[in-house]
Structure 1
Amino acid sequence: MASLKDVARLASVSLMTVSRAINNPELLKPETLRQVQHAIDVLNYVPDLSARKIRGKNTNLSCMGVLAIDTASAPFSVEILLAIEQCAGKYGWDHFVVNISSGDDPVPAARQILSRRPDGIIITSAELREINIPELLRDRNLVLTNCYDPGNTALPSYIPDDYHAQYDATEYLIQRGYRRPLCIWPPAECLSSGLRRDAVQNAWLNAGLPAGQLNQHNITLSDIYYRDVVTLIAHYIDDNSPLFDCIICGNDQIAFVAYQVLLTRGISVPEQAGILGCENMTGTGELFYPPLTTIRSPYCLLGETAALHLIEERVSSGRTYVPCRMLRRDSL
């Protein structure tokens, strides 16, 4: 990797002149600046922005650090990080990501982030969860997205409005004439599962429909391959005739398994049973046949809003609920 000395040698100027070309180009003569820029281009020299920041130089480039809890490795939430990257670049900010698993100690990652001297920090999560902010981050310029700290209600947190999204989707099902839904949710330990389950029940009862026609189940926490979905659906099928008229799925993975079970049994979607998904997992909705109607989790908006919170120096605090939208395709 080329160094500052290499640039100075090729351009036949001093180290100070190269430094001025990078930090204060207006102080150099145009001919000298072109000479240094040519050397930089030839050598593919990249200035060490973090080092300049530590030395207190004015780089005119702010930086945000991202502590990503499972976010970079989850197929359905990586859009959060993409949105942060795009928003930061749009407004001339630098950014970097440190990814950890939910079971990891966050303190080493927090130290790694602070060593880069960011102007602000975003903590993201692949799924909605409660987190405990490490002590060394609590006095920093911090914003959370898709997670919140129950011990610090004033901390700015952007989270999806799962409840109202599921409530509205249930009203849509009712308007379409569905009256015997089978609901299959992720494990009860997942925060969003409880919110969505309550939303379906409240929308159902508020419509004056019998509680006995609403069947809701959670898969177990250990069921990482969604085998519970197969068993639950089979329980509500009598001689290849469904005892339900639609399946409300807590995520698109459950919907994927539900499709396979129904089609294996010769049950057509949506003619004999409709299917509603949730999250709109990246790149999969249109691959279902027929295409899956689902609730789109606002991952892009969660990332963008968190980044803008730092960039625009917003003063809002507490939880801000980001709306989720329904994608109406052909499975209902």
Structure 2
Amino acid sequence: MASLKDVAQLAGVSLMTVSRALNNPDKLSDKTYQAVKRAIDQLGYVPNFAAQNIRGVTGKTIGVLSLGTATTPFSVEILLAIEKTVRKFGWHSYVINTFENDEAEMEQAVEQLISHRPNGIIIARNGLKIVQVPEKLRQFPIALANCVTEDLPVASYIPDDYQGQYKIGKLLVEKGYKKPLFLHIPHNYIATKARKKGFEQAFFAEETDKSAVKISHYFMQADGEDYFEGAKPLIDLLQRHKKLDYDVIVCGNDRIAFVAYQLLLSHGYRIPEDIAVTGYDNMVGIARLFIPPLTTVELPHYAMGEQAALHLIEEREDTECHKITCPLIMGKSC
């Protein structure tokens, strides 16, 4: 395999000149640049991603710091959208996946990103949370997908969870439901507060007789990921009462809804004839796999990735938090 020294010898230049040709070709004369380029082509030497520019590959590069996104099935569409968008514009992308709770791994991931000399950085997360932006990445243009930060002014693209849950609340009111049991995701999640507010405002805005509405809220513990626990209040209610005093179970995500379906059906309840169920996320199109199909809200993972990529490609200068519409997925569970 050819080395940097081999290239320098063949081109008749110093190692520093070869390095400049790879990383800062504008600092060399055209004659020197072409000499190094011919040597690289002849030897087939490609030291790293940045060297592709000298081999005639055009376009710029976006590095993606993936915080669990690449290993979480329902959020991987963020990465797919980034890849498709950058290709469309002749850019390149590469993904380094890591996890926030491992400092050594995070530091290594940041160093890998920097070594590719990106033109911009996207930080993408598998679930909406506040993230820390590593110091070494702050020198680059940055856009966030499915996360926000308090470290510096930077544009972020996140789900409009208020709007998504408002749509479900409005639908349920229109269908005549008055006694929802809301099984929330963890109480400290950003999405939880927005969804609770959207749901309640939809219910009370549409319902003329406020006293006729009864909403019960149950929340998972902080940062909990055991969504069977999210359905535990329903388990307790089914064990204590012969008949539920609710007409719809509003689930914080589709995984809680999956457990709720099994619990209700196993206790002889028909969905939606006896009690309705709604979800949230539309994880990997799972709503259609429920029987009956689940009414849910789809998280806009693809749109978040696409807009974050376009933010860098189009050199947008705003640092706003952009909330992206969450589509309502109509099933037959309510």
Aligned match of 1:107: 107
Q: How many angstroms apart in 1 are the aligned matches of 2:223 and 2:170?
A: 32
1:228 is aligned to 2:229:
yes
Question: Structure 1 residue 53: deviation in Å?
Answer: 5.7
* Cα offset, 1:49, TM superposition: 6.1
1:325 matched to 2:323? The reply is no
Q: What amino acid is aligned across from residue 163 of structure 1 in structure 2?
A: Y
Alpha-carbon distance in structure 2 between the residues aligned to 1:46 and 1:329: 56
Aligned-partner Cα distance in 2 for 1:277–1:140: 38
Q: Distance in 1 between matches of 2:71 and 2:263?
A: 28
CA distance in 2, matches of 1:46, 1:330: 59
- Match among 259, 262, 280 for residue 257 of structure 1: 259
* Correspondence for 2:185: 186
Output aligned runs, 1:44-59, within 5 Å: 50-52=49-51, 59=57
| Amino acid paired to 1:244 | Y
> 2 CA distance for matches of 1:216 and 1:121?
39
1:219 paired to 2:220: yes
2:183 and 2:231 in contact (8 A); partners too: no
* Cα distance in 2 between the residues matched to 1:327 and 1:89: 30
Matches within 5 A, 1:1-332: 50-52=49-51, 59-105=57-103, 106-152=106-152, 154-208=153-207, 209-210=210-211, 213-221=214-222, 224-237=225-238, 240-332=242-334
2:322 maps to amino acid: T
1:87 shift after superposition = 1.3
The sequence identity of aligned pairs, in percent, is 35
Do the aligned partners of 2:185 and 2:230 also contact (CA within 8 Å) in 1?
no
Query: Could you tell me whether the CA contact under 8 Å between 2:248 and 2:275 is conserved in 1?
Result: yes
**2:7: which partner in 1?**
none
Change (3 A) 1:211 1:303: farther
Shift of 1:61: 2.1
Q: 107-116 or 123-132: which moved more? A: 107-116
Contact 1:205 1:211 in 2 (8 A): no
Q: Determine the C-alpha separation between the residues in 2 that align with 1:320 and 1:222.
A: 24
Tell me the TM-score normalized by structure 1: 0.81
- Per the TM alignment, residue 263 of structure 1 is displaced from its structure 2 partner at its CA by 0.6
Evaluate the alpha carbon distance shift between residue 108 and residue 271 of structure 1 in structure 2; reply closer, same or farther with a 3 A threshold: same
In structure 2, the CA distance between the partners of 1:88 and 1:278, relative to structure 1 (3 Å rule), is same
For 2:312 and 2:224, how far apart are their aligned partners in 1?
38
Superposition RMSD in Å: 3.0
Q: Go from structure 1 to structure 2 and tell me whether the alpha carbon gap of 1:75 and 1:51 turns closer, same or farther (over 3 Å shift).
A: closer
Mapped to 2, the partners of 1:284 and 1:248 lie a distance apart of 17
Deviations along 1:232-276, one digit per CA (max 9) or x if unpaired, are 113444655321111111111001001010111110111111111
Q: Is the 8 A contact 2:67 2:97 kept in 1?
A: yes
2:30 corresponds to which residue? none
Alpha-carbon shift at residue 284 of structure 1 (Å): 1.5
Structure 1 CA distance, aligned partners of 2:188 and 2:262? 26
State whether residues 178 and 212 of structure 2, in contact with CA within 8 Å, keep that contact through their aligned partners in structure 1. Answer: no
TM-score by length of 2: 0.81
Partner of 1:10: none
Most deviating of 306-315 and 210-219: 210-219
Q: What displacement does 1:221 show?
A: 4.0
1:96 to 1:222, Cα distance in 2 relative to 1, 3 A: closer
Distance 1:289 1:48 in 2: 54
Distance (Å, rounded) in 2 between the aligned partners of 1:102 and 1:181: 36
Distance 1:211 1:272 in 2: 19
The 1:230/1:128 distance shift into structure 2, 3 A limit, reads: closer
Q: Which residue of 1 aligns with 2:24?
A: none
Aligned to 1:12: none
Q: Which deviates the most, 243-252 or 101-110?
A: 101-110
Paired residues of 2:181 and 2:248 also in contact (CA < 8 A) = yes
Amino acid at match of 2:229: D
Letter in 2 for 1:180: K
Residue 74 of structure 1, CA deviation = 1.3
